[in-house]
Amino acid sequence: MMWMCVAVFLLWMRSGRCTDKANTSDLIEYTAADFYEKLHSGKMMFIYFEHQVSPTISLFLVELEKSAEALQDYGVLVGKVNCNKELVYKYCSEERLLHTAFLFRGGKEFLSFGLDTIFDVNSIVSEVLFAILRDEIKYVHTDADLLAMEKAARGKKDIVLGYVCSLGTQEHRSIMETAYVYGSKYQFILITGGPVLKHLGVNESSPLSRVWFLHCRVHSGFMIPMTSERCPLTRMRKPLSTLSLHSFLQLMEAPLVTEVYDDPSSVQPPQFPYQQTPQVFLFSHPATEHLDLDTATTLAWRLRGLALLLLVHRQSPAVKTPDEYNAAYRLPEKSLEVKYLTLNSLDEVLVLFADQEKDEEEEDDDEEDNEGVDDDEEDSHFGKLDDEIAAAVFENRGTLPDMDSVTQLTSDNFHSAVAQSSLTVVLFYLKWDAVSMAFLSSFIEVAERLADSEVNEVQMSVVDCGEWTDLCAAQPGSAVPFQPITAFPSVLFLHPQHPAQHFRGMLGSEALHRFIMISRVASPVLLSTLEEAQSFLLEVPHPELAGYQLDRVVGLFEAQAQTAAFTEAAKSLRGEALTGLLTDELAEKWAADHSVDLPAVLVFPSWRTHTHPFTLPASSTAEELLTHINTALLHPMPELTVENLPSFFLLGKALLLLFVGEEEDKIGRRQNQALVKEMRTVVESGGEKMERYLACWIHLGRTPAGMSILGSYVGSMPPLPALVLTHLPSGDQIYQYPPNTPIVASSVLHWLQRVEDGTESPTDTKETDVSAL
């Protein structure tokens, strides 16, 4: 749901307003009369009858509220009845119902759910939809069961076959949501294990979710390999999510072979929704036309789900490709670039894509076996609740990792344990929360790494909030130095005599380790000599930080009495940046050497050389100064993500947004990197003119909401990459850089000048219904 929130936020900012409805709770509390009225109307309702509220029930109600908006899209009302206010016969009279929620359909109770099976928003949505669709979604256990389903579907419907190792997971929800939309078109089958997996070539112990498309419906016009009693199948190769499954089904509806009479260089790249799919061209000669079509059809089946196949008829005078070439291909994000080949066999075409698929599978296996090795990949997985991690957590949810390297805090030992260390890092988690359990392993990994480095002053601790609810839910004014914990997992940094500091970085081992190591350094560091100041800028305070990019901030003040706001801001930056303080004569000498007027704050971002810092005026308040510092630390061409989105909009600038697609290989990654580099050139070449714009980019693979945003901006999904100018102070106009035009710095600057001169026409600014996201 996180990417949906990004889409809502962006579109809200575009409209410049927020309705009252957006601020109201989605969880409705029904009176007994309301309940019976809705019940007798026949509407579907998912209701919890509240008796008494414990911390565990409070957590469930939070997840129930999150599910209300999602289930509303499927015609299910979500709410609660407070049995302490008025009784509903049967449901408010029995204590055993305290841990049960109910689904009502057609004016009567349809199914009940134990709270241990609906513990978060994914499990709630997936289990409710599974119950609603239980007559439409079939379940098979053996190969004989699957064969019977294939025979029944032959000539009528194609089959979507999904495997999840556990119910109630994110991937289970993805299949249920897709089945709700496509259930009348395809026959959905669910597998959670059994002998049928052997037929599909899957190890039953594998935690990876998978989807196959079984081509059982007769397709007119093309040869279908129906020589056996089994339906041909195509495996979805991307990780399972609602978006990827939707895209996969659309790809399965694409023509098997498309016949064209133009040269490949003149053929349009794949349009939405196939723009991320490679194209393969085979050439046909008039004398062998039927044989060429059969060859193309055979190859197309082998490439199904990997590429779109086009058969080019050479009898057309528009085809200019030399006869020495008999094949060609175009990769996504390549615009009009086509590469030509001379093939001796069809297998040579398959190698182009099979090797790429193999590399992707090996990367997936490496991530599973070496979780946490690559911080960027790990951060991405945890931010999106990666399906593989969630599935592994649910498969092994009864097994906890080795906790010897961390201190397990309780209500009894909390104060004494925290008092023993200069820094205590506390993870608050829930055993039944997939993200908590995934991050717990990374947290322990960091603890072991600190122990190996002999970092003894940092105490790594954990609190099981399902067990010690009184500690996690302690109210303000109690002895604990933090507010009640309501989000899981949460990490707090506790320094003696200082307020608790929340860790708001990515939930990965490298990000946490970096934050801890920087937190060990005083904030600010009092610099007493010019040598110390120079060392502060050029050296790292600990060898463990040698591999990290470090932001630095230095305050220059004529007197100690002027430093209050800076010192407070430095405390807020602890763990995120290194802060130093120079005062009195030392500050005056430094200011004179660097032509700076006192008081001042110098900001040295990690992406900029230390010889060219940003110079900020010393603000009167810590909040104002902190805002200026964070703005200066922002990258000039940052990637727009869930985490940094709010900080960008605080700047109040027009957005120059570059949308790039998901890379399929190293070539694609290099292309995206070159595009981002070119946009940085735009910023640098534009000088002061570019200060009114915030240039940034969105990676549609890591931020899928960007696809809906881009489509809403320009009216349809354009070829990628796409460049859009939006959120202009002058109004809600949106401008699109000419599609299929190379993104070159000089051309972009000329385009922006035309926008400013009023000679460039905006795109259609029609609003898109946010609920459609």
SS3 labels along 618-632: CCCCHHHHHHHHHHH
Going across the sheet that includes 654-660, the strands are 693-699, 654-660, 722-726, 735-736
Average pLDDT over residues 31-43: 87
> In the structure encoding, which two tokens stand for residue 74, read together?
């499927």
- C-alpha dist (Å) from residue 240 to 163, 172, 180, 193, 391: 10, 9, 16, 17, 11
Phi/psi zone of residue 496: left (φ > 0), alpha (ψ -120 to 50 degrees), beta? beta
Average pLDDT over residues 522-530: 87
Cβ neighbours of residue 541 closer than 8 Å, sequence gap 6 or more: 520, 521, 578
- Residue 396 pLDDT: 47
The per-residue pLDDT for range 288-318, each reduced to its tens digit, is: 788 788 888 888 888 888 889 999 999 888 9
Distance CA 280, CA 421 (A): 63
- C-alpha dist (Å) from residue 25 to 8, 31, 66, 500: 16, 16, 9, 29
Is pLDDT above 50 for 196? Answer: yes
Is pLDDT above 80 for 325? Answer: yes
Percent of the chain whose predicted confidence (pLDDT) is above 90 = 14
Mean pLDDT score of the chain, rounded to an integer?
79
Is pLDDT above 90 for 368? Answer: no
Is pLDDT above 50 for 651? Answer: yes
- C-alpha dist (Å) from residue 179 to 44, 149, 354, 698, 702: 18, 17, 29, 29, 24
Is pLDDT above 60 for 276? Answer: yes
The per-residue pLDDT for range 174-195, each reduced to its tens digit, is: 999 999 888 888 999 998 888 8
Is pLDDT above 80 for 166? Answer: yes
The per-residue pLDDT for range 404-419, each reduced to its tens digit, is: 899 999 888 888 888 8
Q: Largest alpha-carbon pair distance within the chain?
A: 92
Is pLDDT above 50 for 453? Answer: yes
Average pLDDT over residues 534-561: 81
Is pLDDT above 70 for 613? Answer: yes
Is pLDDT above 60 for 122? Answer: yes
pLDDT higher at 600 or 3: 600
Residues in the chain: 773
Report residue 158's pLDDT band, with 50, 70 and 90 as the boundaries. Answer: very high
Report residue 391's pLDDT band, with 50, 70 and 90 as the boundaries. Answer: very low
Distance CA 739, CA 659 (A): 12
- Residue 406 pLDDT: 92
- Residue 159 pLDDT: 94
Distance CA 297, CA 232 (A): 14
The per-residue pLDDT for range 668-685, each reduced to its tens digit, is: 888 888 888 898 888 888
Report residue 337's pLDDT band, with 50, 70 and 90 as the boundaries. Answer: confident
DSSP 8-state secondary structure symbol assigned to residue 767: P
User: Does the predicted model carry a pTM greater than 0.75?
Assistant: no
HEC profile of 551-616 = CEEEEEECCHHHCHHHHHHHHHCCCCCEEEEEEHHHHHHHHHHCCCCCCEEEEECCCCCCCCCEEE
List the single range of 70-84, 288-302, 649-663, 703-717 with lowest mean pLDDT.
Answer: 703-717
List the single range of 156-165, 367-376, 421-430, 575-584 with lowest mean pLDDT.
Answer: 367-376
Is pLDDT above 70 for 475? Answer: no
Distance CA 178, CA 425 (A): 41
The per-residue pLDDT for range 54-89, each reduced to its tens digit, is: 777 888 888 999 898 889 888 899 999 998 888 888
Residue-range domains of the chain with CATH: 32-119 (3.40.30.10), 132-218+230-350 (3.40.30.10), 407-514 (3.40.30.10), 521-633 (3.40.30.10), 644-757 (3.40.30.10)
Average pLDDT over residues 468-485: 74
459: nearest Cα among 499, 488, 493, 489: 493
Average pLDDT over residues 514-533: 87
Report residue 263's pLDDT band, with 50, 70 and 90 as the boundaries. Answer: very high
- Residue 466 pLDDT: 76
- Residue 633 pLDDT: 81
Average pLDDT over residues 136-152: 88
Average pLDDT over residues 212-236: 71
